[in-house]
Each structure stands twice: as C-alpha cells, then as structure tokens.
C-alpha cells in the first residue's frame, strides 16, 4: 500500500519520479505528490488528489526543476484521500519532506506531544509525525535525525526523506514495508518495488528491517538504527523491463493472462530435469523435509486460493495431511504447529503483512517455514527458512492472474518433489503425471488462441449480461414502488467441486474486484444447504464442470439450478455432448486434461470472463477502486 520513489543524480528528477510513480501506481492511487530540492532554502512540494495523471497535468504546467526528489502514490490508511493528506509531508519550516509507506501505530501519542511542543499539523495522517520528529532532532545531519526520530516510532515504515539543507541527499529507512535501492552510474534510486527502477538499472540492494541508507548520486551508505555501517553488495535482477509494460495489450491484466502459458513453460524448463524436480534455491535439505508430518498453508486472497488447490495436490501426491488458512486468521489463533510441521506461505509480492506475521508466528513455534513467492529478495523470501520463486515476472494488474497459475505450477512440482522424496507414489505413476504436466502449457496456449479467435463472441456475451442486468434494474425501478418485491439478483454464482472448488471462489473474487458486481463462489455440494434459495432467472451461474470423478454430481447440481430457472454458463471439457440438453446460456469448452491439472485450464475462462465484464462496464481494470497490489498493513 502506497508507493515511494526517489531519485538523486544529474538528470532532471521530475520526469523520473513521475515515471517511477506510474510504475508503482498499482500500490495505491488515491492521491500523489512530489518533493524537490531546487537549490533554495525550502523544499518545493506539489501534490494532488487522485491518480498520477492529475499530478502530471499540474507539473506539466508548472514544472519543478532539480535533480533530487522523492515522490509518493497513496492508498489511504489514516485520513481520507485528499490533497492535504497526500504525501510528501513537510516540517513547519518547509525544509524537510517525508514520504512514507506503512502505519505509525503510536502516532496519536506522538502527535499530542508534538502539538504540546508547538507543532501545528497540516494533515490527518500518521506520517506527518515523522517529518516533525526529524525536524525536532535535526542538527545538520539528516541520517542522524532520521535514526533518532525512528527510535520514537512504533509501527511499520518505508520512508524517504530529503532536506533543503543537504543538497543531493536522500535518506531512506525501512521496517516491515518494502524498500529497494537501485544503483546507477552517477545516480541512485529508491523505490517500493524493483519494477519502478528496472528501466534505469538492474543492480539493486534490498534494504533490511532496521536499516537506514544515505544516498548521494555517487554513494550509497547503509547503517543500522544505531549508526553502525553495514556492507551489502547489489544483486542483479533478471526481469526484463518490457515485462513491466503493456506490450500492445489494452490492459496489464489481459497481457498477464496471455503470459501464463509462457511462464509455465519456463517454470517447467527450469525445475524439471529428466524426471527429477529441482528447487535449487530451496535451502531446506531433503532430510529436513522427511521429518514433516503435516503441512499448513497460509496466504491471502488469490494466493490463498492457490493454497486451497495445493491441499488437493499434496493430499493426492503424498500422504501428508494438509490444512489451509488465511494468514490473518492463522496469526491470531494459537495454531498447533511445531517442529514436525511445514508451514508454506504463498504470496505474489512477498510483502503481505499478515502472511509475513504468520511466518513469524510459525517460526516462533519452531515450525519449518517455506515461502512460494514471486518477488526476488522480498520480505517473505528473507523471513522464511526456505524459498521457491515462481519467476512469473512483475505482475502489475491488481487482479492477480499469472501469479496464481505460477503458484499452482510450483505447488504441483512441490507435490511431485515430495512424492519423489517420500516415495508415496509409484515411480511410473509419478513420471506419467510429470509427462502430462509438461504438456499443460500447450493446452493453456490453445485455449487462449481459441479465445482470440472467438473474442467478439466473449465481448458479445459480456454485453448481453450488461443489457440483461440493466433491463432487470429498469424493470424493478419502473414498477409501482408498492409492488416492488426486492431488487433483482444481478450477481454471479460460481460453483465447482473437488480440486475445482478453489477456482469457483477465485473466479468470483476476480469478477468482484474489477467489476464491483457481487459474486459468490461455492462448492456445488453446498448449494442445497442454503445458496440455492438465491436462484431464479437472474443470477448468472458459472458451473465449473470438466471431466472429473465428480462430473455426474456436478451435472445433477446444474439440473437443480436449471429446474429453478437458473441462467447457467457451464465450463466443460471439449466434446462434451450432454451439457447442451440442459439448454445453457452458453458453453465454454476447455481442452481435455486430467482432473488433477484441470484448475490450470478452468481458471483461464474465469479470468477472461471477469476481464470482459469489467471491460464492458468500462471499469478501471488494472487499478480497481479501494484496492492496492500489496497489502503491507493489517
């Protein structure tokens, strides 16, 4: 939540900061701002409500000149989204500016003390206390003042600070919010995420918790909070900068959906050698894994849904029992995990606050911890004992797609790896599964090719939904108010069984987060226990019904919906002939694949359906309202 970008060097800083903030806009987009050193004895700040383009418009008319600046794009926690609450925040002399990502938990007490000392606050944010504290402790050296101020602060932060008194200097620090330094030639960058600096350098340093960095254009000095120097070499990032661009697609989400077959191919190529699976970066010896008696998977949102699929995979491929929990629930119960438990934390960003806290709780209880995450060097990858990277490249759209299938791919491979270690499966069976898995990216590609051929039809179906939706609303509102019974059920219901049940909730999540249309995902067997009461001719019921051991049960469930006038959209295996008898609204066919791998195929139409509906409704697909890409606060 919130993106920070800073630059110091020889170039004009304003365009770089704007470009960097645009790359970080997925982290929050309710207001933004920039603070510039321009040689005078005051810092110049421009900030505004809304997206970066609003800031850009103002700056185009009145550019800020200078070569050292920090910028911020905000996702509001304390204080409404407004110009006043937008970062950067200034001290009372306008000589120090701070941008911040995180939450200062004791800000209320700090604010009270500072007010008693005569400070007048200009915003409702928690962040503003930081700048006043830095000003209070400032005696000619910014890093000393920052270190001193941070001793008063409780909470989480990634900050970048500049002062007009020390030209060319940016001081940044972090605790539990991400911050990365980009080392260039005669210039240095600081940002919340590598994707913002990749265009300029691939030499990066991940700042650790409790560290403070002083950046000048030709130096980068890291210390701990006590001022002790820390030496760290940059790491080279192999992500290609074009991966963080739209590449001709109208939205990042669509581009990322189409990247999936290529990502899976690359994952398989990297991890599978002959019939053996290799996780070179895992750091957990096979002997330690052999002691594992149970697995607990923790994650949030889409990554949690991947974890649910993981349960089916591990329980099919091994004889280890598996539990799956949302990180926010896991961390506050008293989870029964210990030295015989493998806790797997799944996360695209590797920065999700609850998942990070869950791993810490698991470590406290002596469990073995492993993270499956996408971002190299992220907090989770450093916190967990072991790591497996998904290598899906930067995921920019807030709605996660390619990270999900990459997580699934790693879970399949991990399941096969464990079965190889534990010998829980006949070697011939394991090889057959692996052979089929190697073929799955090709099936995904052929489904997406088919979508491209049939794109107009998908758009038409989304349009039909829009028309039906508004007709129903019109009918309702034009009726005599006394005769109105209730609003029409303009919503989507997603049903799935067994290993495709998690995709039902994933499909519903995708739709609601980008189109704001209510959607529910359910295991179909639960229909009769309540949700069937919702069925009439209004909701769209997406039935995930590929060939599987529960296919007949699924068909019975579809019939029950049909008998109540339900509007059904089944997702079936190609060549299915019986589904037409149920007179569906339309049918989506996926290529034939074993049930165990089918989630990798059935999720594609769910992602595309959400995309098409949101596009038809004209929503901001890549940056849906109220959301941010990484949830680094609780």
Known catalytic residues? 2, 629
CB atoms < 10 A from the CB of 333, how many?
9
87 neighbors 127 (Cβ within 8 angstroms): yes
- Location of structure tokens 């980009």: 182
**Min. distance of Cβ 627 from ligand M6R in angstroms?**
6
- Output 175 or 509, the one with its CB closest to ligand M6R: 509
**What gap in Å lies between CA 363 and CA 338, rounded to an integer?**
9
**Min. distance of Cβ 373 from ligand M6R in angstroms?**
8
- Residue 14 φ then ψ, to 5°: -55, -50
**What gap in Å lies between CA 187 and CA 589, rounded to an integer?**
53
Of 337, 263, 333, nearest in space to 297 by CA: 337
Q: Site residues (CB under 6 A) for ligand M6R?
A: 300-303, 347-349, 352, 355, 398-400, 509, 513, 627, 630-631
Residues 6 or more apart whose Cβ sits within 8 Å of residue 410: 267, 372, 388, 390
- Residue 417 φ then ψ, to 5°: -65, -45
- Output 67 or 630, the one with its CB closest to ligand M6R: 630
568 neighbors 561 (Cβ within 8 angstroms): yes
- Location of structure tokens 């938990």: 105
**Min. distance of Cβ 178 from ligand M6R in angstroms?**
11
- Output 125 or 348, the one with its CB closest to ligand M6R: 348
Residues 6 or more apart whose Cβ sits within 8 Å of residue 97: 35, 43, 45, 70, 88, 89, 90, 131, 161, 162, 163
- Output 401 or 419, the one with its CB closest to ligand M6R: 401
**Min. distance of Cβ 305 from ligand M6R in angstroms?**
8
**Min. distance of Cβ 309 from ligand M6R in angstroms?**
14
- Output 98 or 631, the one with its CB closest to ligand M6R: 631
Of 202, 206, 171, nearest in space to 192 by CA: 206
**What gap in Å lies between CA 58 and CA 124, rounded to an integer?**
24
**Min. distance of Cβ 327 from ligand M6R in angstroms?**
8
3-state secondary structure of 259: helix
Note the helical H segments in 280-401: 286-290, 301-317, 327-330, 353-364, 379-383
Fill in the DSSP letter of residue 218: T
- Output 303 or 561, the one with its CB closest to ligand M6R: 303
- Output 121 or 239, the one with its CB closest to ligand M6R: 239
User: How do 386-389 and 368-373 pair as beta strands?
Assistant: parallel
Q: Output the CA–CA distances (angstroms, integers) from residue 393 to 228, 347, 396, 597, in the order listed.
A: 35, 14, 9, 22
**Min. distance of Cβ 629 from ligand M6R in angstroms?**
7
CB atoms < 10 A from the CB of 262, how many?
15
**Min. distance of Cβ 233 from ligand M6R in angstroms?**
27
**What gap in Å lies between CA 38 and CA 302, rounded to an integer?**
44
- Output 462 or 631, the one with its CB closest to ligand M6R: 631
What is the chain's alpha carbon radius of gyration, rounded to the nearest angstrom? Answer: 26
Residue nearest to ligand M6R according to CB distances in the complex: 301
**What gap in Å lies between CA 296 and CA 317, rounded to an integer?**
16
**Min. distance of Cβ 345 from ligand M6R in angstroms?**
8
- Output 495 or 610, the one with its CB closest to ligand M6R: 610
């Amino acid at each position: 939540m919130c993106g920070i970008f800073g630059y110091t060097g020889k170039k004009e800083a304003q365009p770089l900061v704007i470009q960097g903030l645009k790359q970080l806009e997925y982290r929050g987009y309710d207001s933004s701002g920039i603070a510039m050193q321009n040689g005078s004895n005051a810092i110049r700040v421009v900030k505004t409500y809304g997206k970066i383009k609003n800031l850009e418009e103002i700056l185009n008319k009145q550019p800020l000149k200078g070569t050292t600046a920090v910028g911020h794009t905000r996702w509001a926690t304390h204080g409404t989204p407004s110009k006043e609450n937008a970062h950067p925040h200034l001290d009372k002399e306008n000589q120090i500016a701070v941008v911040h990502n995180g939450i200062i938990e004791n800000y209320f007490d700090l604010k009270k003390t500072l007010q008693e000392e005569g400070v007048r606050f200009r915003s409702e944010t928690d962040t503003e206390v930081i700048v006043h504290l830095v000003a209070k402790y400032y005696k000619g050296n910014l890093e000393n003042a920052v270190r001193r101020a941070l001793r008063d602060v409780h909470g989480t932060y990634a900050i970048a600070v500049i002062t007009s008194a020390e030209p060319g200097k940016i001081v940044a620090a972090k605790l539990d919010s991400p911050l990365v330094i980009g080392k260039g030639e005669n210039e240095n960058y600081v940002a919340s995420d590598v994707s913002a600096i990749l265009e300029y350098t691939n030499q990066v340093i991940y700042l650790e918790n409790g560290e403070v960095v002083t950046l000048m254009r030709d130096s980068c000095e890291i210390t701990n909070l006590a001022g002790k120097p820390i030496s760290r070499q940059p790491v080279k990032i192999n992500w290609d900068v074009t991966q963080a661009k739209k590449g001709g697609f109208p939205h990042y989400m669509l581009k990322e959906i189409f990247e999936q077959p290529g990502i899976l191919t690359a994952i398989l190529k990297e991890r599978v050698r002959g019939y053996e699976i290799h996780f070179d970066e895992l750091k957990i010896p096979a002997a330690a894994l052999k002691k594992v008696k149970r697995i607990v998977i923790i994650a949030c949102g889409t990554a949690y849904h991947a974890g649910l699929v993981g349960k089916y995979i591990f329980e099919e491929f091994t004889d280890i029992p598996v539990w799956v929990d949302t990180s926010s629930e896991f961390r506050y119960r008293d989870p029964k995990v210990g030295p015989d438990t493998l806790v797997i934390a799944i996360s695209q960003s590797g920065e999700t606050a609850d998942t990070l806290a869950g791993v810490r709780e698991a470590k406290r209880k002596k469990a073995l911890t492993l993270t499956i995450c996408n971002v190299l060097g992220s907090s989770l990858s450093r916190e967990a004992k072991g790591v497996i990277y998904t290598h899906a490249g930067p995921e920019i759209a807030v709605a996660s797609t390619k990270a999900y299938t990459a997580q699934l791919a790693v879970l399949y491979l991990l399941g096969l790896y464990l079965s190889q270690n534990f010998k829980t499966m006949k070697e011939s069976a394991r090889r057959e599964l692996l052979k089929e898995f190697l073929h799955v990216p090709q099936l995904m590609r052929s489904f997406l090719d088919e979508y491209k051929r049939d794109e107009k039809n998908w758009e038409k179906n989304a349009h039909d939904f829009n028309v039906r939706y508004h007709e129903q609303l019109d009918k309702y509102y034009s009726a005599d108010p006394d005769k109105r019974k209730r609003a029409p059920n303009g919503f989507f219901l997603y049903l799935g069984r067994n290993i495709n049940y998690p995709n039902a909730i994933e499909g519903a999540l995708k739709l609601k987060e980008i189109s704001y249309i209510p959607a529910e995902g359910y295991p179909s067997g639960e229909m009769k226990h309540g949700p069937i009461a919702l069925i009439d001719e209004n909701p769209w019921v997406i039935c995930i019904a590929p060939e599987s051991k529960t296919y007949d049960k699924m068909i019975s469930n579809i019939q029950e919906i049909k008998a109540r006038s339900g509007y059904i959209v089944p997702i079936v295996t190609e060549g299915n002939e019986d589904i037409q008898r149920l007179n569906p609204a339309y049918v989506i066919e996926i290529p034939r694949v074993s049930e165990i791998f089918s989630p990798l195929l059935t999720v594609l139409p769910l992602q595309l359906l959400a995309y098409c509906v949101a596009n038809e409704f004209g929503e901001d697909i890549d940056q849906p309202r109220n959301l941010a890409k990484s949830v680094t606060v609780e």
